[in-house]
């Protein structure tokens, strides 16, 4: 078992033959696409990867990752720190044609070389772990012009709701127009 800071490249075939397990961390700044989603690229991704041989001598990687990242809150547009976590399993294939032949429940990573970047194994999983709408927990957004306070919501409940109906008199108008003149 390898532990500590992870190298950028791993020999996935050798690790699969040895039933290898690696555990460690690497900087978020190594993840180019994922880094574009963040307010800043500070911090590390902690992960544990287990390698094994699958059918057709393909490398299967099962892993667990965690990362504390700073995203932009979609309510107040201020930075929010979130803990991301994901458990995943991927199969390393040599080309797109092999990717199409995987089982429906299997995820694949296309990489023809024996050395694979750690980022290739985990970047998509991290991106999927980001909430669709990143935001602070309820009531924890810093003060902003866009925040709805509880006092405002209580005031709205006290007033009776009035409904604007622009076509309310339309039926009567049509009936009068269709009446025969006497």
Residue 152 — pLDDT band, cuts 50, 70, 90?
A: very low
Nearest Cα to 28, choosing from 65, 58, 3, 57? 65
The whole-model pTM stands at 0.66
* 3-class state of residue 89 by DSSP: strand
Mean pLDDT for 90-109 is 78
Percent residues over pLDDT 70 in the chain: 87
pLDDT tens, position by position, 41-56:
888 899 999 988 888 7
Return d(Cα 92, Cα 116) in angstroms, integer. 9
List the chain domain ranges. Answer: 2-129
pLDDT tens, position by position, 61-73:
899 999 999 999 9
User: Is the pLDDT score of 159 beyond 70?
Assistant: no
DSSP annotation of 106 reads -
CB 80 within 8 A of CB 45: no
The residues facing 68 across adjacent strands are 83
Predicted confidence at residue 93, as pLDDT, reads 81
User: Is the pLDDT score of 18 beyond 80?
Assistant: yes
Predicted confidence at residue 182, as pLDDT, reads 59
Task: Report the chain's mean pLDDT, rounded to a whole number.
Answer: 82
User: Is the pLDDT score of 148 beyond 60?
Assistant: no
User: Is the pLDDT score of 163 beyond 80?
Assistant: yes
Mean pLDDT for 109-128 is 84
């Amino acid at each position: 078992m390898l532990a500590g800071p992870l190298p950028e490249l791993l020999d996935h075939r050798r690790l699969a033959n040895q039933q290898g397990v690696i555990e460690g961390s690497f900087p978020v700044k190594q993840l180019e696409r994922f880094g574009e989603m963040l307010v800043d690229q500070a911090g590390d991704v902690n992960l544990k990867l287990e390698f094994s041989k699958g059918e057709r001598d393909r490398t299967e990687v099962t892993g667990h990752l965690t990362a504390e990242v700073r995203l932009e809150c979609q309510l107040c547009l201020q930075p929010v720190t979130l803990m991301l976590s994901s458990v995943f399993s991927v199969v390393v294939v040599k080309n797109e044609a092999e990717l199409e032949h995987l089982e429906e429940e299997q995820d694949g990573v296309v990489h023809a070389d024996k050395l694979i970047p750690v980022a290739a194994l985990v970047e998509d999983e991290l991106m999927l772990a980001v909430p669709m709408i990143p935001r602070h927990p309820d009531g924890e957004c810093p003060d902003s012009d866009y925040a709805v306070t509880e006092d405002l919501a209580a005031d709205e409940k006290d007033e009776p709701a009035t409904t604007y109906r622009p076509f309310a008199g339309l039926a009567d108008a049509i009936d009068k127009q269709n009446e025969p003149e006497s």
